[in-house]
Amino acid sequence: LPLEEFERHATQLAHWIATYLGSPERYAVLAPVAPGAVAASLPAAMPPEAESLDAILADLDRVVMPGVTHWNHPGFFAYFANTASVPGILGELVSAALNQVGILWRTSPVLAEMEQVTTGWLRDAMGLPREWFGMLTDTASTSTLQALAAARERDATLDIRERGMAGRSDLPALRVYCSDQAHSSVDKAVITLGLGRANCVRIASDGAQRMRVDALRAQVEADVAAGMRPMAVVATLGTTSSTAVDPIAEIAALCERHGLWLHADAAYGGVLAMLPERRAMFAGLERADSLVVNPHKWLFTPMDCSVLWTRHPDVLRRAFSLTPEYLRTREQDVALSYSDYSFQLGRRFRALKLWFVLRAFGLAGIQARLRFHCALAERAAEWIAAEPGWELLAPVTMSVVCFRHRPTGVVDEAALERHNAAILERVNASGRVFLSHTKLDGRYTLRIAIGNLRTEERHVAEAWRLLREAAQA
Ligand code: PLP
């Protein structure tokens, strides 16, 4: 393809993207398609001959857009928001063009060093210990898996790296603890590491969905007495359902006493540590052994981008470093190759988009947006608390509000679940907003999760109006 063609199409696409980002509200937030509809709209086989880029671009509106759920929509209040900010999009574009393959330092020195620097910037902005070593992965699921792989490696006498775990009568059950609110990625990491799902022990949480440290202590002590080997605790700072924050300082003290690896999952909420006035809720985090925070959640970085920090890069390296002859280099002892710290060999140049985002927003710009989102959530919580027939179901610790409608006299949980599920269905069918649900203490719970760059108060107000209308209907 002649490069003049590239320029023509890139300009055309830049215009198309700017139009899209300028008015995502033209679209229904949730893709209005039935399962299978997108596949059915595509040809059964690949084109036998080359097609023109004009033809492909023309199909963006016809084929692609109907199947898009608009995470960039200001009415996206489901799960946790993830906005593709303009700096992040530009970073992705350059990254695709440069096509760096980070196998070794020499295959992309800028990838390795910018990854170190940007994760260091973020670490410092969050007030974390300066010696923490940072790396980027695709998702929090991968970051947690790698953290727990390091935790498993820490006791070198177990020799799991060389001997594995199967058929070993000398190996006690290795136990990982997290609260009953922790993300399912912890179970998946335990399963993937071959520890056995039963060894991912869910600890009861208190009335505000925080891990109960007394229950954790009792479980660890009982497991030790039973001959098991407590290996790690995963504390969540910003749980998926209600953004509860586990008491990390107390958990850290227990981990230190028993020699447990403490991994902190702050995939969504960790960025709040960038606000000095919010830092108290993270007190004790500096004692963790590893931490995950996802810039692709509340840091305006397009999917995907997760940061894993650890204070024990040596252990992570012991878990994963393996250099075949063809990858040996003369600088390998002095230059950082991230493949020594992860199970993947080649890696994307994710640091570039993070660098764009951190520079283009600056610390003050990020702080202002986080504060704005928290204030919007607090306002929504005030509206809900003040309205008869509605109730809040969890404290608002970050930018998520958990609530439900409870018509007078209705106490049956099954009836309340049907009623609130119907409200959710109706509100989402409007196409104006998209909310999701969870269960807290067995109670069906609606959530408004605020975190999209383009969300303004009027969007939250519209969600609230739609909810009240749906409750009446
Ligand atoms: N941890 C928490 C607290 C989450 O809320 C989520 C997803 O929402 C995850 C981990 C998993 O994130 P990812 O999709 O990046 O693996």
The reply to whether ligand 1 has any atom less than 6 angstroms from the CB of 306 is yes
Give the pTM.
0.96
Candidate of 143, 185, 186 to mutate for ligand 1, largest count of ligand atoms within 8 Å of Cβ: 185
The reply to whether ligand 1 has any atom less than 6 angstroms from the CB of 265 is yes
The reply to whether ligand 1 has any atom less than 6 angstroms from the CB of 242 is no
The amino acid occupying position 275 is L
The reply to whether ligand 1 has any atom less than 6 angstroms from the CB of 268 is yes
Ligand 1 atom showing the smallest separation from residue 269 Cα? 3
What is the residue-level pLDDT of the chain in tens, covering all 473 positions? 889 999 999 999 999 999 999 999 999 999 999 999 999 999 999 999 999 999 999 999 999 999 999 999 999 999 998 999 999 999 999 999 999 999 999 999 999 999 999 999 999 999 999 999 999 999 999 999 999 999 999 999 999 999 999 999 999 999 999 999 999 999 999 999 999 999 999 999 999 999 999 999 999 999 999 999 999 999 999 999 999 999 999 999 999 999 999 999 999 999 999 999 999 999 999 999 999 999 999 999 999 999 999 999 999 999 999 999 999 999 999 999 999 999 999 999 999 999 999 999 999 999 999 999 999 999 999 999 999 999 999 999 999 999 999 998 888 999 999 999 999 999 999 999 999 999 999 999 999 999 999 999 999 999 999 999 999 98
The reply to whether ligand 1 has any atom less than 6 angstroms from the CB of 181 is no
| Residue 447 bridge partners (DSSP) | 402, 436
Candidate of 268, 304, 399, 447 to mutate for ligand 1, largest count of ligand atoms within 8 Å of Cβ: 268
Q: Which domains does the chain have, with CATH numbers?
A: 101-348 (3.40.640.10)
Res 233: pLDDT: 98
What number is the ipTM of this complex? 0.98
The reply to whether ligand 1 has any atom less than 6 angstroms from the CB of 236 is yes
Res 1: pLDDT: 81
The reply to whether ligand 1 has any atom less than 6 angstroms from the CB of 438 is no
Measure CA of the first residue to CA of the last residue in the chain; give whole Å.
Answer: 57
Res 410: pLDDT: 86
Res 411: pLDDT: 87
Q: Quote the crossing angle between the two packed helices 109-125 and 350-386, to the nearest 10°.
A: 30
